[in-house]
Amino acid sequence: MLSTEIEKFITQKKYPSLQPKAVFFDMDGVLFDSMKNHAAAWVEALNKLGLPFTEIDAYMNEGRTGASTIDGVFNKIHNRNATEEEKQQIYKLKSSLFEARGEVGKIPFSFELLKKIKAENKEIFVVTGSGQPSLIDSLDENFPGIFKKEKMVTAFDVTNGKPHPEPYLKALKKSGLQPWEVVVVENAPLGVESATTAGIFTIGVNTGPLDPKILSDSGANLVLNSMEELYEKWEKLF
């Protein structure tokens, strides 16, 4: 069954094969169990300023840069983009509310999967819309020995965040690999859109409250229910 998804993808894309030499991981909701805190912080920050926003909105917007999320809300309510000042004010508030919620844990089986992939001598990249300066430190603390600074694409590296394909295209460029030599692991609809538009086989892992159909509708080539399921099926897939 799983190899059917891969064959379908290769045929559709007219790729010579699909033999991953690298795996590109999204971060929030894939490696870190951080989305609940992000969603709550977004809701609190925007509602405080009288802007309607729900936790489901936060999950649907996951992957966008902060500025793009804020512009989306402003356009809906005020028919205009937010000013730079408004963006900074809201993002600062959102970030402090997120920090106040304390440290986030790992998504179960994410570290186990990373270790398995490393043991197969495949390269591991992080492709995230996040822009915390301490990113590499918290990745190192939680997943020692897995990540390298030069194998990351963050908010600082791109002009256009997800759902634009730029983050994943940048990661391809950094890796020097072809799209048929890479697999993406994403949890968010806009992240899936970004990766599939970049032409990469994308596994949607539904770690949040959304209907899994949203991930397949966004173009995910395979949808799984948890990182544990991906960990267990990994060898069967690749």
Q: Does 179 bind Mg ion (CB under 5 A)?
A: no
Q: What is the C-alpha to C-alpha distance for residues 70 and 161, in angstroms, rounded to an integer?
A: 13
Q: Long-range CB contacts (< 8 A, 24+ apart) of 47-55?
A: 48/93, 49/90, 51/77, 52/77, 55/209
Give the residue nearest to Mg ion (CB): 29
**74 vs 171 by CB, closer to Mg ion:** 171
Q: How far is the CB of 7 from Mg ion (least distance, A)?
A: 27
Q: Does 130 bind Mg ion (CB under 5 A)?
A: no
Q: How far is the CB of 140 from Mg ion (least distance, A)?
A: 19
Q: Which of 9, 24, 29, 193 binds Mg ion (CB under 5 A)?
A: 29
Q: What is the C-alpha to C-alpha distance for residues 194 and 163, in angstroms, rounded to an integer?
A: 4
Q: Which of 68, 187, 194, 207 binds Mg ion (CB under 5 A)?
A: 187
Q: Does 188 bind Mg ion (CB under 5 A)?
A: yes
Q: How far is the CB of 63 from Mg ion (least distance, A)?
A: 6
**26 vs 166 by CB, closer to Mg ion:** 26
Q: What share of the chain is helix, strand, coil (3-state, %, to 5)?
A: 55, 10, 35
Q: Which helix (H) or strand (E) holds 152?
A: strand 152-153
Which chain residues interact with Mg ion by CB under 5 A?
26, 28-29, 187-188
